[in-house]
DNA sequence: AATAAAAAATGGTTAAACCATTTAACAATA
DNA sequence: TATTGTTAAATGGTTTAACCATTTTTTATT
């Protein structure tokens, strides 16, 4: 059973969304001046305090500019402010295959860099995590991610690790589904071990090969999962 | 002449930062209950309205939970909520070389995918942008980015294009500096043209080679820029 | 000990006032 | 006429006090 939340949205949250929508839709364009808080609150039928809560949030998000005595203006979003938001948005709406494609590209290089740059401590950390994985008797995405991230961290490129983390997080639900059987779980652990061994042996070529095999299986599982979903969709119609 | 802004930070903005810092530092941990708004505002020496403006923003950012009659609690950040923030943060604080490293990895593959997947319209678009670049007589990062992004878009992987955009945006200031001379500008245009021609000829290998040459020069310029900066720093001491 | 009722506390909201800064209008001056 | 100085109005920033609805705690009742 699943009941939808009955919690009423706070007034100021509604106001925030209202403004954000208007900005997204272009009803409010950069440079536009908003009515004064006193006018606006009356027009919207809310108190000035509530309106100000919303405006504060919008300001904090970078949507508006306010100047005492001056007024409130829709902000000219600079290119850079935009890209961060756009990236987050793109991440949210990326398809599994887009995510996987980038992961394949990056992680292939990541293992190569890891072989080069990993310290003995890094290797030890990886092994510790791998051991945890091997002792688990059901798939835990955190464990899976931890392993891949320990490799990414060994590249000493913090951005790389963080991007991998975001990427993994976004395919978590599907990998959790596809690994929800003992066979695939065991396979995964073996694949991890192969990667680990190759990195430990400082054999980049072997590590890449092991990783590609692993990612190939992940991709197969995802694509298979898609087909099954489609079949279900078809069955509905 | 350049004067620094004298605008005083708004009170609620200060409060927001204060809470964010405390959460980052761990002084406020998930699950912690905050004092009531009435108490807290008195403790902090601010009005309840100001405190509420800050709390509304923090709630909107996902830091806290509030329940009428219940109280205000530091929110248990889910993994996924966190990764988005962490990624943005990592992007902001990434070094030029980290950014460039990832760009080199991705873009190398991007040109390969572009050769595969670019439609005739994509190619046309690239050429149009390249032409604009060639007519420019001073470096315009927007033009530069537009060219690289048109290639990234041809991969039909939206996330790829957006990540590249974020990446480029973050090295914009340094590339703008390093291209601030006619020779390098001309070189850049030539390098772009080589990449363009190879993609148009559907020659992945050639395209990659041209791109690598381009990125090699970008890297050289960045590293040189660093050395100069260091020299300046040394001169100061 | 369990239940029910009442009281207190809490976040949500409104209203009215005052401050500091900015803007606009207008007068004064050269 | 054009510039400067003054004044008044408007605006965002802030504070205070009050009331509501819900939740929590306390108290009373059985």
How far apart are the C-alpha atoms of B132 and B150, rounded to whole Å?
13
Quick one: average pLDDT of A217-224?
A: 88
pLDDT of residue B230: 61
**Alpha carbons A189 and B157: distance in angstroms, whole number:** 30
Which pLDDT score is estimated for A230? 62
Please, which residues bridge with residue B64 across strands? B74
Query: Cβ distance A142 to A129 under 8 Å?
Result: no
Residue B87 has pLDDT above 50, yes or no: yes
Alpha carbon distance B92, B25 (integer Å):
19
**Which residue did the predictor score with more confidence, A83 or A33?**
A33
- Determine which of A150-159, A222-231, B125-134, B140-149 has the lowest per-residue pLDDT on average: A222-231
**Does A83 lie at the interface with B, CB-CB under 8 angstroms?**
yes
* A84-93, A188-197, A224-233: least confident range: A224-233
Lowest mean pLDDT across A35-44, A88-97, A223-232, B61-70 = A223-232
Burial A72-102 (b: 16+ CB within 10 A, else e): bbbbeeeeeeebbebbbebbeebebebbbbb
| B232 — pLDDT class (breaks 50, 70, 90) | low
The answer for B81, left when phi > 0, alpha when psi is -120 to 50, beta otherwise, is: alpha
Average pLDDT on A171-192 reads: 90
Min CA distance, A195 vs chain B (Å)?
Answer: 20
User: What are B29-49's pLDDT values in tens digits?
Assistant: 999 999 999 999 999 999 999
Between B83 and A171, the higher pLDDT residue: A171
Out of B79, B109, B169, whose CB is closest to A169? B79
Q: Mean pLDDT of all residues in chain A?
A: 89
- What's the angle, vertex CA B132, arms to CA B130 and CA B135, rounded to 5? 110
Out of B79, B93, B162, the one facing A90 most closely (by C-beta) is: B162
Determine the distance in angstroms separating the CA of B57 from the nearest CA of chain A, rounded to an integer. 5
- In the three-class reduction of DSSP (H, G, I as helix; E, B as strand; rest coil), residue A9 is classed as coil
Q: For B214-223, what is each residue's pLDDT tens digit?
A: 999 999 988 8
Residue B82: closest CA among B142, B23, B159: B23
| CB count in 10 Å sphere of residue B81 | 15
pLDDT value of residue A38: 95
How close does chain B come to A2, measured CA to CA in Å? 21
Q: Which nucleotides of C are covered by protein (CB under 7 A)?
A: 8-17, 20-23
Q: What does DSSP say about strands B33-34 and B71-74: parallel, antiparallel, or unpaired?
A: antiparallel
Taking residues B75-81, what's their average pLDDT?
A: 69
Segment A56-71 shows an average pLDDT of: 92
Query: Stated in angstroms, how far is A125 CA from C24 C1'?
Result: 68
The protein side of the strand C contact, defined by CB less than 7 Å from any of its atoms, consists of A 10-12, 45-50, 67-71; B 34-39, 48-49, 52, 55, 66-72
On whether any CB of chain A is under 8 Å from the CB of B169, the answer is yes
User: Which residues fall within 8 angstroms of residue B16, CB to CB, at 6 or more apart?
Assistant: A60, B54, B57, B58
Structure tokens at B130: 């390249």
* Cβ pairs A/B, distance under 8 A: 124
Chain B CB contacts of A165 under 8 Å are 83, 86-87
Mutation pick from A72, A163, A170, A208 vs chain B, by most beta carbons of B within 10 Å, is: A163
Backbone angles phi, psi at A181, to 5 degrees: -155, 140
List of chain A residues whose C-beta atoms are within 8 Å of the C-beta of residue B106: 102, 105-106
Residues of A in contact with B11 (CB under 8 A): none
Q: pLDDT tens, B97-133?
A: 999 999 999 999 999 999 999 999 999 999 999 999 8
Which is more confidently placed, A26 or A197?
A197
Instruction: Give me the mean pLDDT over the B166-185 stretch.
Output: 89
Residue A212 buriedness (CB in 10 A; 0-12 / 13-18 / 19+): middle
Count other C-beta atoms under 10 Å from residue B74's C-beta.
19
A106 reaches B (C-beta below 8 A): yes
User: Would you call A35 helix, strand, or coil by DSSP?
Assistant: coil
Return the pLDDT at B10: 87
Distance CA B85, CA A174 (A): 22
**What are the structural domains of chain A?**
11-74 (1.10.10.10), 95-236 (1.20.120.530)
Please compute the mean of the pLDDT values over residues A38-47 and round it to a whole number: 95
At B7-30, the pLDDT tens digits run 568 899 999 999 998 987 889 999
Res A213: pLDDT: 96
The closest CB to that of A158, out of B53, B88, B90, belongs to B90
Chain A residues with beta carbon closer than 8 angstroms to that of B60: 13, 16, 57, 60-61
- Residue B81 has a pLDDT of 63
Question: What percent of chain B is modeled with pLDDT above 90?
Answer: 65
Strand ranges of the sheet holding B64-67, from the earlier edge strand across to the other edge: B33-34, B71-74, B64-67
State the pLDDT at residue B237. Answer: 41
Which string of DSSP letters, residue by residue, matches A131-190?
HHHHH-SS--HHHHHHHHHHHHHTTT-HHHHHHHHHHHHHTHHHHHHHT-SHHHHHHHHH
Asked if the C-beta of B5 comes within 8 angstroms of chain A's C-beta atoms, the answer is no
Assigned token pair, B229: 């900066």
């Amino acid at each position: 059973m699943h009941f939808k939340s009955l919690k009423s949205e706070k007034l100021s949250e509604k106001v925030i969304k209202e403004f954000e929508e208007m900005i997204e839709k272009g009803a409010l364009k950069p440079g536009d001046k908003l009515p004064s808080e006193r006018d606006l609150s009356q027009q919207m039928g809310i108190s000035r305090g509530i309106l100000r809560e919303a405006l504060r949030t919008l300001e904090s998000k970078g949507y508006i500019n306010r100047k005492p005595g001056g007024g409130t203006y829709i902000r000219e979003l600079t290119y850079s402010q935009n890209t961060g938001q756009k990236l987050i948005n793109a991440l949210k709406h990326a398809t599994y295959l887009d995510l996987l494609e980038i992961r394949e590209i990056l992680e292939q290089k990541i293992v190569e860099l890891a072989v080069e740059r990993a310290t003995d401590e890094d290797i030890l950390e990886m092994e510790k995590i791998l051991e945890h994985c091997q002792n688990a008797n059901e798939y835990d995405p955190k464990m899976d991610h931890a392993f891949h991230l320990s490799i990414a961290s060994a590249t000493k490129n913090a951005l790389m690790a963080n991007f991998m983390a975001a990427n993994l997080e976004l395919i978590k639900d599907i990998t959790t589904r596809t690994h929800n059987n003992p066979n695939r779980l065991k396979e995964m652990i073996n694949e991890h071990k192969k990667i680990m061994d190759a990195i430990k042996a400082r054999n980049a070529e072997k590590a890449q090969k092991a990783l590609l095999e692993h990612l190939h299986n992940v991709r197969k599982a995802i694509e298979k999962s898609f087909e099954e979903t489609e079949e279900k969709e078809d069955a509905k119609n």
